[in-house]
A = this chain, B = another copy of it.
Amino acid sequence: MKRLTETGVDYPVWVGGTEAAEPLAALCEQRDVFVLSDENVAPHHLQSLRSQLGQALRVGQLVLPPGEQSKTMAGLERVLDTLIAGAFHRDAVLVALGGGVICDLGGFAAACYQRGIDWIAVPTTLLAQVDAAIGGKTAVNHSRGKNLIGAFHDPLAVWSDPARLNTLPEREYRSGLGEVIKYGLGFDARFFDWLEENAEALNARHEEVLATAIETGARIKLGIVAADRTEQGRRALLNLGHTLGHALETALEHGTWLHGEAVAVGLVAAAELSARRGRLQAGDVARMRHLIEAFGLPVSVPSSVTDAALEEVLSLDKKIVSGTLRFIGLDALGEADIWTDVGRDELQAAISAVRE
């Protein structure tokens, strides 16, 4: 087990196996603990996690239906109702055991139950280990947009065990690799090289290689987050690939594509747009496409999604979230940048470049 150091945030991130159970148990000692999980994750991991909680006073739990359907105001109310019915106090600790949905929802429930209780993230998907569980952003979705209701609420600790990924369905695992690639493409060219070299081992879920990927992704994200906790500026860089990614997810209706799959196409589009501005070499874009394909991820917008549908979602997103489109482009491989001058034609050309 490795405890990431000098991350810039003041909570520990543990990457590794059962040795992390000891500090976890210490955080839960003499406290009421409430474990939130979902029906996909609980059969594999809930019992073993409960057995690792040591001297907790009392352990409650709620297992929700899997997927985005639970990441809603209704899902939030179920968590809060259960906490209240169980008379969990303000000094209880909520443990979110699951993927991005459970971490985002559990963190937000912890943020607003009795105006904030402690929580611990135990992400069980690669996506959550390198992204959702890292950085203190919590939220639920609204029918008109993702993550529109939420809070910044740091966890007490994050425990990412690569071994938990063994039970992940293949497609979900690969979706997580989409976010991993993002960290190489946008923030660390050497990590990009490393991913190319280790693509095969990652596809085989080689535990040590995986641990390195999780550590590197989490560390890159924490570095950016620590400098901009509440997303006033640089944190937006993490949205590399997400402008088009989110639009694709929404246009396809959430759940048709997995998040990392949509982000993969968004990353290619960002690379294409950056190449058109002369910032990336054609060779970089080719490497990018090749790496994404090596991980079995899509590189194209499906023909069922029209340009009009994408544009409508992009425009709504822009209207609600910031008023201006802040596109995350690439000044070079490994150097993401916030561009506020990306026009409609330029975006359209990038989308055309990722058409089948």
Contacts and interface: CB of A to CB of B under 8 A. Distances in A.
A5 interface: no
Contacts of A142: 80-81, 84
Contacts of A111: 112, 151
Contacts of A147: 115
A320 interface: yes
A89 interface: yes
A47 interface: no
A114 interface: yes
Interface residues of A, number: 38
Contacts of A115: 137-139, 147, 150-152, 230-231
Interface in A74-91: 77, 80-81, 84-85, 87-91
A84 B151 contact: no
A321 interface: yes
Contacts of A321: 89-90, 114
A3 B35 CA distance: 47
B114 A323 contact: no
Contacts of A276: none
Contacts of A44: none
Looking at A73, A115, A149, A152, which has the most chain B CB atoms within 10 Å of its CB? Answer: A115
The 5 residue pairs across chains A and B that have the minimum distance between CB atoms: A87-B319, A115-B150, A89-B323, A87-B320, A84-B144
